[in-house]
Amino acid sequence: MFVRSFQKLSSNAQYITVRGYKKTLEQLAKEKPNLLKNTAVLVRVDFNVPLSKKDASVITDDTRIREALPTINFLTNAGAKVILASHCGRPDGKVNEKMRMAPMAKRLAELLKQPVNTVGDCIGADVDASVAKLNAGDVLMLENTRFYAEEEKNVTEFAQKLAKNAKVFVNDAFGTAHRAHASTEGVTKFVDHKVAGFLLQKEIAFLKGAVDAPKRPFAAIVGGAKVSTKIPVIESLIEKCDKIFIGGGMIFTFYRAMGLNVGKSLVEEDFIPMAKQLMEKAAAKGVKFILPTDVVVASEFKADAQSKNVSVNDIPADWLGLDIGSASLENFKAELKGCKTVVWNGPMGVFEFEQFAKGTFGVAHALADITDAGGITIIGGGDSVAAVAAAKLDKRMSHISTGGGASLEMLEGKVLPGVAALDDA
């Protein structure tokens, strides 16, 4: 078993130690107390942060950098020579001046309150020279690993060059752990020790714990525009959950499977049979599969469009649904009350438009109340994270995942390549 239990260490529900699965940085340091001092440690971080469209040197959200601080601080305090590797954006194997790592290094230096060295490459002679100059506790930020096409192709020779100067590899980039890239999986073949950093440890403990050993009742809230992208995770959650709530644009594909008219709402015609199968599978398993009974419809897809709350049986032919309705929100809240573990992935509506944000923000408040009552609430990446932040409720959730695709795959029960490649505990 990956995680036997959750242990709340504060009102924000901190993480627990990963036991009996993959070795963590903390465990390695305890096993080999003198290993890290003066040792070059390659750390895969996820500094793929949003940058200003007007000025690519301006970071608009530094959350991912802040999340990496516990691991980086642990290593610098232990006297390690810290080498950070990350990607930014999708440069397609070419140098892109707007995707360099310099802004991230600058922000990290401010947060660490110490200099962060930079180098204009991630492999080669310049990197070797920069590493050679490092003293105990120093930090070096390598250039964007995706400036090389070999990174995403996981080319062995490239991975070997990335790992050349390191004896220890720490993966703290959960957001890319579901990808078998050179900097996440390939490098592990060329170091003596490969372990999970504190962020990766926290992500796995919460997400894997929710799948393997949830406190019950266990509920999942799945939203977003398209059911096609969420089919595997819904199928997996039906096997594990007591209740599943469906929201967002995908609800209209389910309504069509029920024979309802949905006006101009988004429908994935090819997935209507699958939507029907999911509802039947949930019923057969005794899982409560909860769809909204009313929706907020709009005359057009605009922030200031005309809108009204209608029953799902009365959606006007020329209107489209953009949020769950008021009665459905109250029903969702009532059904969520008393749940001990809740996983949420995907908004309930177009929350970027104020008049269609009530469903999403209402669910966020319901989850915050569950956390306050001692339950475990996990925000599984993607737009749900942005919604919780917009509602200013991020501090009242047990765990907010830094990985969209990775969190979905873990909830599906998949093995993530970046995790599988680490040393066993």
* Catalytic site positions: 64, 226, 382, 405
Question: Nearest CA to 333 among 366, 376, 377?
Answer: 366
CA gap 234, 241 in Å, rounded: 10
CA gap 307, 398 in Å, rounded: 34
Question: Nearest CA to 329 among 348, 313, 354?
Answer: 348
Q: Do 76 and 115 touch, CB atoms closer than 8 A?
A: no
CA gap 289, 67 in Å, rounded: 34
Question: Nearest CA to 116 among 170, 181, 219, 45?
Answer: 45
Q: Phi first, then psi: what are they for 181, rounded to 5°?
A: -100, 170
CA gap 322, 342 in Å, rounded: 24
CA gap 232, 236 in Å, rounded: 6
- Per-residue DSSP letter, 22: B
Q: Do 269 and 254 touch, CB atoms closer than 8 A?
A: no
CA gap 272, 262 in Å, rounded: 13
Q: Do 296 and 311 touch, CB atoms closer than 8 A?
A: no
Q: Do 257 and 273 touch, CB atoms closer than 8 A?
A: yes
User: 410 is written with which tokens?
Assistant: 């873990």
Place of tokens 């999986």: 185
Q: Amino acid letter at 136?
A: A
Angle at CA of residue 372, ends 368 and 378, nearest 5°: 50
Q: Do 241 and 230 touch, CB atoms closer than 8 A?
A: no
Name beta bridge partners: 244: 220, 289
CA gap 114, 122 in Å, rounded: 21
